């Protein structure tokens, strides 16, 4: 027995105790989250599907003072490309006024807006100074939404000619008062002082609020922070003239995008929207090539925003033109891609014909050579008015 005990003890010392079985917990390998879905490419309406349709919406874009020289300089300074190259049809219009071969912006814009030739300085009136209904007013009457966007004051000649009726373009306070006679759904531009710092002490901004408008100005709200609602929208970008883009103005492309989104679906009958790149003209008056080129680049960005909307919508006619050319601008010897040497024959407007670019349903009507008044006629026909 003693021997058995000793053998058992020796066995324990040599081989040790049998360990207790343990459960090993394994940590699952980390899983890699699935990659985010690729952004969906925008769906554009094929050209063939839109070209023979009637447009529901019309967007008229006016590059004030923009002739072929300005367009060419803008293109060569922008990597040899512009959004204008995407337009389907191109024409030329004759831009003279009723009283002068050399038009001003007021007479030319009145031709677009009202379909008449009139005298230089006229805002929505004929040669007898009688008011003529504008396409914006026809659109309102037919139940369409309407809008105006500009890089000048909103009471300047081009936007004014679509909404006001005054004998002279410099009647800025009277033009501002004419805004009270319409139900324009949206307007964005400078000239706040003509609404609330007036010689008659009226505050038209308060009157617009009383009419149910959402009214904002650059003083309290950045355009990028604007939250449009169901109300008609007025946004004033400056007290008087907006700055040039080279000195910090940057709102036109964003304002164009906001305007398209705001107008979309506002009326089931469609909309009319006029967008102006005003300061190409001011660069021509100043005989300043850099001014022209930077304003052309800004206008091209706005055109691109509008085209993106029109491509996806498929029911929008976009027309880009100018009221006249300014400065007799020409690209000179010594210019290169990305470097412009410009020269000028004038510090005023010239009488050269003006290109017209059209995209979308109804665009075919804008090819050829015609009077500037025909732009009104073609838009009215496109709308079926």
How high is the pLDDT of residue 265? 83
Q: Do the bridges between strand 214-217 and strand 57-63 make them parallel or antiparallel, or are there none, so unpaired?
A: unpaired
68 backbone dihedrals φ, ψ, rounded to 5°: -65, -35
How high is the pLDDT of residue 52? 80
**Pick from 20, 3, 21, 23: which is nearest to 11 by CA?**
3
Q: Do the bridges between strand 214-217 and strand 186-190 make them parallel or antiparallel, or are there none, so unpaired?
A: unpaired
What kind of architecture, by CATH, is found in domain 57-171+268-383? 3-Layer(aba) Sandwich (3.40)
- Packing angle between helix 289-313 and helix 252-263, nearest 10 degrees? 20
pLDDT (tens digit per residue) in 229-239? 999 999 999 99
> Which tokens belong to 131?
């008011």
| pLDDT of residue 376 exceeding 80 | yes
180 backbone dihedrals φ, ψ, rounded to 5°: -75, -15
Alpha carbons 283 and 279: distance in angstroms, whole number = 6
Cβ atoms within 10 Å of 30's Cβ, excluding its own: 6
pLDDT (tens digit per residue) in 89-114? 999 999 999 999 999 999 999 999 99
Alpha carbons 33 and 226: distance in angstroms, whole number = 36
* DSSP letters spanning 345-360: S-SSEE---EEEEEES
Residue in this structure with the two tokens 């709308």, named with its chain if needed: 383
Alpha carbons 220 and 226: distance in angstroms, whole number = 10
Q: Which residues of 193-213 are buried (b: 16+ CB within 10 A; e: fewer)?
A: bbbbeeeeeeebbebbeeeeb
Distant-in-sequence contacts of 206-213, Cβ < 8 A, 24+ apart: 207/180, 208/179, 208/180, 208/234, 211/180
Segment 81-87 shows an average pLDDT of: 97
| pLDDT of residue 43 exceeding 70 | yes
E strands of the chain, at which residues?
57-63, 89-94, 145-153, 186-190, 214-217, 233-236, 271-277, 316-321, 325-326, 330-331, 342-343, 349-350, 354-359, 368-371
Task: Considering only CA atoms, give the Rg of the chain.
Answer: 31
How high is the pLDDT of residue 109? 98
| pLDDT of residue 5 exceeding 60 | no
Q: Looking at 26, 83, 105, 161, which residue is catalytic?
A: 105
Structure pTM?
A: 0.89
Do 353 and 365 meet the contact criterion of CB atoms below 8 Å apart?
no
Do 138 and 385 meet the contact criterion of CB atoms below 8 Å apart?
yes
Instruction: Clarify whether 105 is annotated catalytic.
Output: yes
> Which tokens belong to 171?
């009647």
> Which tokens belong to 275?
């967008």
For all residues of the chain together, what is the average pLDDT?
91
> Which tokens belong to 315?
């029911």
pLDDT (tens digit per residue) in 286-338? 999 999 999 999 999 999 999 999 999 999 999 999 999 999 999 999 999 99
- Packing angle between helix 105-114 and helix 373-383, nearest 10 degrees? 30
How high is the pLDDT of residue 38? 61
| 117 or 27, higher pLDDT | 117
Q: What angle do CA 277, 96, 372 make, to 5 degrees?
A: 60
Domain boundaries, given as residue ranges, for the chain: 57-171+268-383
Alpha carbons 227 and 229: distance in angstroms, whole number = 6
- Tell me the β-bridge partners of 369: 92
| pLDDT of residue 2 exceeding 70 | no
Percent of the chain with pLDDT over 70: 89
Please tell me what DSSP assigns to residue 54: P
């Amino acid at each position: 027995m003693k021997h058995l005990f000793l053998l058992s003890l020796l066995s324990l010392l040599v081989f040790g105790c049998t360990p207790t079985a343990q459960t090993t917990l394994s940590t699952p390998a980390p899983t890699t989250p699935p990659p985010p879905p690729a952004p969906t490419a925008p769906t554009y309406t094929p050209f063939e599907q839109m070209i023979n349709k009637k447009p529901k919406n019309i967007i008229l874009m006016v590059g004030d003072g923009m002739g072929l020289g300005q367009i060419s300089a803008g293109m060569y300074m922008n990597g040899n490309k512009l959004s204008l190259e995407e337009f389907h049809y191109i024409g030329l219009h004759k831009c003279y006024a009723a009283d002068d071969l050399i038009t001003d912006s007021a007479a030319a814009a009145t031709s677009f807006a009202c379909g008449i030739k009139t005298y230089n300085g006229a805002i929505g009136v004929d040669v007898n100074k009688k008011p003529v209904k504008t396409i914006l007013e026809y659109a309102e009457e037919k139940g369409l939404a309407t809008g105006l966007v500009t890089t000048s004051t909103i009471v300047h000649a081009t936007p004014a000619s679509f909404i006001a009726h005054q004998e002279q373009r410099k009647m800025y306070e009277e033009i501002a008062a004419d805004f009270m006679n319409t139900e324009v759904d949206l307007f964005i531009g400078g000239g706040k002082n003509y609404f609330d710092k007036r010689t008659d002490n009226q505050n038209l901004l308060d009157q617009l609020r009383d009419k149910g408008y959402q009214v904002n100005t650059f003083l309290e709200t950045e355009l990028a922070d604007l939250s449009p609602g169901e109300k008609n929208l007025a946004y004033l970008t400056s007290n008087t003239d907006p700055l040039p883009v080279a000195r910090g103005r940057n709102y036109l492309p964003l304002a164009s995008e906001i305007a398209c989104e705001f107008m979309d679906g506002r009326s089931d009958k469609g909309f009319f929207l006029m967008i102006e790149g005003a300061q190409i003209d001011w660069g021509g008056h100043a005989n300043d090539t850099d001014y022209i080129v930077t304003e052309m680049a800004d206008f091209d960005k706005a055109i691109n925003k509008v085209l993106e909307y029109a491509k996806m919508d498929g029911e929008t006619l976009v027309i880009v033109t100018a009221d006249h050319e300014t400065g007799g601008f020409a690209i000179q010897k010594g210019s290169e891609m990305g470097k412009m040497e410009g020269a000028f024959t004038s510090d005023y407007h010239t009488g050269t014909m003006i290109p017209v670019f059209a995209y979308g349903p109804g665009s075919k009507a804008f090819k050829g050579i015609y009077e500037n008044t025909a732009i009104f006629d073609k838009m009215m026909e496109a709308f079926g008015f």
